[in-house]
Structure 1
């Protein structure tokens, strides 16, 4: 039996000015998306916010917004 935890899963980072490029930023975003997909997130449950700050830094927050119940529980196939 697994315990379903509906809290969002978040992966985030802040990259200092001069330590990122558009290509490395895209790679970071793709990596975070792939990591959440690997944890079981559906593509539509993933939200990624990228903020470019005035000082040249950038922050990336990837969030898996989980539903209230799992598919197993929804279909009635969950273990008691």
Structure 2
């Protein structure tokens, strides 16, 4: 199956992020968000090795999720 051509300018960074307040998420829903964001990045043309995931949790129970496409990775 042929890979789709990249639809974005190669030099531009790609990042999907969100912040969730305490009580708005569970570990299960957080994992669902992560997989959804990863799939969106894959759909844009990223290889699995180029997808970077970062989750920050605060002491208050909030979470910040960032999934990005690191085009410098092979």
Task: Give the TM-score, by structure 2 length.
Answer: 0.82
Rg larger in structure? 1
The aligned length equals 67
Higher helix share: 1
Structure 1: unaligned runs, 5 residues or longer: 69-80
Structure 2: unaligned runs, 5 residues or longer: 1-6
- Counterpart selection for 1:49 from 44, 54, 59: 54
- Any runs of at least 4 consecutive aligned residues in structure 1 with deviations exceeding 2 A, and if so which? 2-5
Task: Give the TM-score, by structure 1 length.
Answer: 0.76
What is the root-mean-square deviation in Å for CA atoms of aligned residues?
Answer: 1.9
